[in-house]
């Protein structure tokens, strides 16, 4: 069992499952929790639940939701491996054989990612927007990524400029890049405005003078989702 400490208004999130739990109030020996979860995930107090009768297994899911859950698990695994390989690649700058080995693994992962996307293409009636979220603070990054996914946006997360550039060098360009002000140096913005990234629309989190489209803090995630969805629909209509 993982045991964590949380204060009032702090959260625990499960990005791959789309679940977040917030400690909304602490009074004496009672804690009030706020839980955001998908509609098909049962949430009950233990004393009211027949745990055996309500055991949540993959068979309880519709085929569509089961496929979505399996896909998210695989994508989370791929993202974790890619992040680790990015870190390893940076440490092998002087080792040509090591770099070649890492790049070969990257290409294999890219093939797996494409196979997953192709397997889902027949189930999607229309294309969905893809975004690259570049934000250093892990808790904020994971929470915002979950909000974007809830809004129907496919999200890849990066903790730094280096991770983002590593991802972009090996994958097709997403529709949007969402950049935290901490990572938004002028030269990085200039790189993202050159080919082959110049078709990627850039958005900032916080004040970034080099970007025309920025969202002030505290961030309203719903406003961001609406903006991305609207702009993507406009692109598809062209």
Q: Dump pLDDT digits (tens) for 42-71.
A: 776 665 554 444 444 444 455 555 556 556
70 and 162 together in one domain: no
User: Domain containing 30: what range?
Assistant: 1-39
Q: Is the pTM of this model over 0.75?
A: no
171 and 159 together in one domain: yes
Look at residue 40 in the predicted model and tell me its pLDDT. 66
Look at residue 214 in the predicted model and tell me its pLDDT. 94
233 and 161 together in one domain: yes
Residue 110 reports pLDDT greater than 80: no
Give the residue from 129, 125, 133 showing the smallest Cα distance to 152.
129
Residue owning tokens 């993507």: 232
For residue 184, count CB atoms less than 10 angstroms from its CB and return exposed for 0-12, middle for 13-18, buried for 19 or more: buried
Residue 225 reports pLDDT greater than 50: yes
Q: Which of 125, 140, 170 is the last residue of a domain?
A: 125
Range 78-105 average pLDDT: 60
Look at residue 51 in the predicted model and tell me its pLDDT. 45
135 and 159 together in one domain: yes
pLDDT in tens, 156-175: 999 899 889 888 888 888 99
Look at residue 230 in the predicted model and tell me its pLDDT. 92
Least confident of 23-27, 101-105, 177-181: 101-105
pLDDT in tens, 117-160: 665 555 555 788 999 999 988 888 888 888 888 888 999 999 89
Range 226-232 average pLDDT: 93
Look at residue 45 in the predicted model and tell me its pLDDT. 67
What residues are paired with 34 via a beta bridge?
22
- Cα–Cα–Cα angle for 119, 179, 198, rounded to 5 degrees: 70
Q: Return the beta strands (E) in the chain as ranges.
A: 11-14, 19-27, 30-36, 130-134, 154-158, 176-180, 201-205, 214-215
133 and 121 together in one domain: no
How many structural domains comprise the chain? 3
Q: Which of 75, 94, 125 is the last residue of a domain?
A: 125
199 and 217 together in one domain: yes
Where residue 188 falls among pLDDT bands split at 50, 70, 90? very high
């Amino acid at each position: 069992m993982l045991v964590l400490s949380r204060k009032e208004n702090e959260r625990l999130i499960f990005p791959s499952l789309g679940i977040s739990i917030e400690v909304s109030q602490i009074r004496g020996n009672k804690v009030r929790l706020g839980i955001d979860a998908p509609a098909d995930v049962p949430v009950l107090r233990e004393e009211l639940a027949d745990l055996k009768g309500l055991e949540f297994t993959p068979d309880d899911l519709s085929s569509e939701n089961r496929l979505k859950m399996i896909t998210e698990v695989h994508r989370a695994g791929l993202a974790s491996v890619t992040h680790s390989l990015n870190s390893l690649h940076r440490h092998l700058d002087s080792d040509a054989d090591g770099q070649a080995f890492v790049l070969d693994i990257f290409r294999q992962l890219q093939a797996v990612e494409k196979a997953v996307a192709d397997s889902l293409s027949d189930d999607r009636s229309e294309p969905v927007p893809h975004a690259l979220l570049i934000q250093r603070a892990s808790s904020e990054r994971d929470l915002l990524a979950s909000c974007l996914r809830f809004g129907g946006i496919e999200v890849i997360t990066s903790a730094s400029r280096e991770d983002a550039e590593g991802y972009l060098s090996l994958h097709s360009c997403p529709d949007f890049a969402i950049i935290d002000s901490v990572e938004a140096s002028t030269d990085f913005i200039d790189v993202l405005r050159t080919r082959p990234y110049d078709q990627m629309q850039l958005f900032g989190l916080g004040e970034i003078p080099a970007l025309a489209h920025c969202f002030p803090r505290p961030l309203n995630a719903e406003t961001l989702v609406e903006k991305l969805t609207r702009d993507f629909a406009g692109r598809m209509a062209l």
